[in-house]
Amino acid sequence: MKAAVVTDLGKLEVLDLPMPELGPYDVLCRMCYGSTCAGTDIHLMDGLHPYPVTFPTVLGHESVGRVVELGAKVKNYKLGDLVSRVGYPGDAKSGVFSNWGGFAEYGIAKDHWQMRRDGVEESQWTKYRVNQIIHPAIDEKTAPMIITWRETLSYDRRIGIGAGTRLLLIGSGANALAHCANAVNLGAEVTVVGSGKRRGDFEKLAICAFHNYRDEKLAENVLEKHRGEKFDMILDGVGASDNVNYLLPLLKKDGTLGVYGWTGRSGYAINPFNAANSFRLYSDGYDEEESNGEVQSMILQGKLDAGLWYDMDKPVPLENIANAYVSLRRHEALKYLIKLG
């Protein structure tokens, strides 16, 4: 069985690994597709991930697979189910670890519903709530995007984005595009500050305006575009506090600043005196399970299109995955769809 393994800092290889062993509450899945993440994946490879990582480790957290075998105590899956966030669990004998391990030919999901009913200790199942059954009308190539959409939609709901919210979104990466799509679907009025090369991606959504972050009179021009009206929320999808401090005067009194992005997190520093008034600060708490049903419903209604994030007609074979990350580092794409099985 092949998997994409980070063998050392910055080094990604496709290796042969033992098949995962099936526990009583486990389902074995043949992996279908995964999608790359220019944030978490690259931070992990570069040793910048906020949580401890031991190499070698199997990469990938945005993958889906179909159930091919059921553990003895499994009650809530059936053969053929398409499941989200499936991953290789690691292998102690060969000394290979896993950070979800989504980029593999086979992976494991857990019947966390049954584990809870059977009184299994919560610590053994709670993180596997991200394993969710995907509606049969959702295709395998769209399904990997469910992870990004769930994470961002849960965050966006928690921060209070809704109908009529005047939102200033900072960023033009894959997560920022997801926040934008969610906000538009929730009825918000969205203005984006990002890279000019990504303008076309965002303008495919019903946004109010797009401003290039390199504009020397950015704050002045944003206010002029919006007739001097300030924003209910500023959402930082980059994690670069310099951008936020510059644009913070555009936040209205008692507005909300949300910080979602990872870049520069360790040195993140907000100057509250840049704001004209008091404001609320919200960081990146979310729960994928709570938004799972709503995301799948949006997909089925045609409100979310994975083709905005990656080329669905040209998936990258697993054996070429390292090339995809070279391209991501060059900012040549938002994401790549990876063919796993």
Q: Fold match between 2-141+312-339 and 148-282?
A: no
Asked whether the beta carbons of 97 and 90 are under 8 A apart, the reply is yes
Residue 33 forms beta bridges with which residues? Answer: 64, 339
pLDDT tens for 133-162 read: 999 999 999 999 999 999 999 999 999 999
Report the pLDDT value the prediction gives residue 225, as an integer from 0 to 100. 84
**Cβ(94)–Cβ(18) below 8 Å:** yes
Rounded to whole angstroms, the Cα distance separating 126 from 49 reads: 21
Contacts of 337 (CB under 8 A, 6+ apart): 33, 34, 35, 141, 144, 306, 310, 311, 312, 314, 315, 316
CATH class of 148-282: alpha beta
Q: What is the pLDDT of residue 101?
A: 96
Q: How confident is the model at residue 55 (pLDDT cuts 50, 70, 90)?
A: very high
- The rounded distance, in Å, linking the Cα atoms of 35 and 33 is 7
Burial class of 295 by CB neighbour count within 10 A (0 to 12, 13 to 18, 19+): buried
Question: Which residues have CB under 8 Å from 5's CB, separation 6+?
Answer: 12, 13, 14, 15, 17, 56, 57, 58, 59, 96
Query: HSE of 337 in the Cβ direction (CA atoms, 13 Å)?
Result: 22
Q: What is the pLDDT of residues 166-205, one digit of tens each?
A: 999 999 999 999 999 999 999 999 999 999 999 999 999 9
User: Domain residue spans in the chain?
Assistant: 2-141+312-339, 148-282
Tokens for 172, please give them. 């033009």
Cβ(15)–Cβ(94) below 8 Å: no
pLDDT attached to residue 104: 98
Q: What is the crossing angle of helices 174-185 and 145-159, to 10°?
A: 60
Cα separation of 156 and 111, whole Å?
28
Confidence of residue 304 (pLDDT cuts 50, 70, 90): very high
Q: Is the dihedral of CA 219, 221, 222, 224 positive or negative?
A: positive
Per-residue pLDDT averaged across 89-115, rounded? 95
pLDDT at residue number 142: 98
Of how many residues is the chain composed?
341
Which helix H or strand E contains 155, and what residues bound it? helix 145-159
How much is the pLDDT for 336? 98
The CATH T-level fold of domain 2-141+312-339 is: Quinone Oxidoreductase; Chain A, domain 1 (3.90.180)
The whole-number pLDDT of residue 227 equals 80
Give SS3 for 75.
coil
Model confidence band, residue 257 (pLDDT cutoffs 50, 70, 90): very high
| Residues 29-51 pLDDT 10s | 999 999 999 989 999 999 888 77
Mean predicted confidence (pLDDT) in 243-272: 85
- The pLDDT of residue 113 is 98
Taking the CB of residue 284, how many other CB atoms lie within 10 A of it?
17
Angstrom distance (rounded) from CA 339 to CA 32:
6
What mean pLDDT comes out for the span 221-250? 89
**Global pTM value:** 0.95
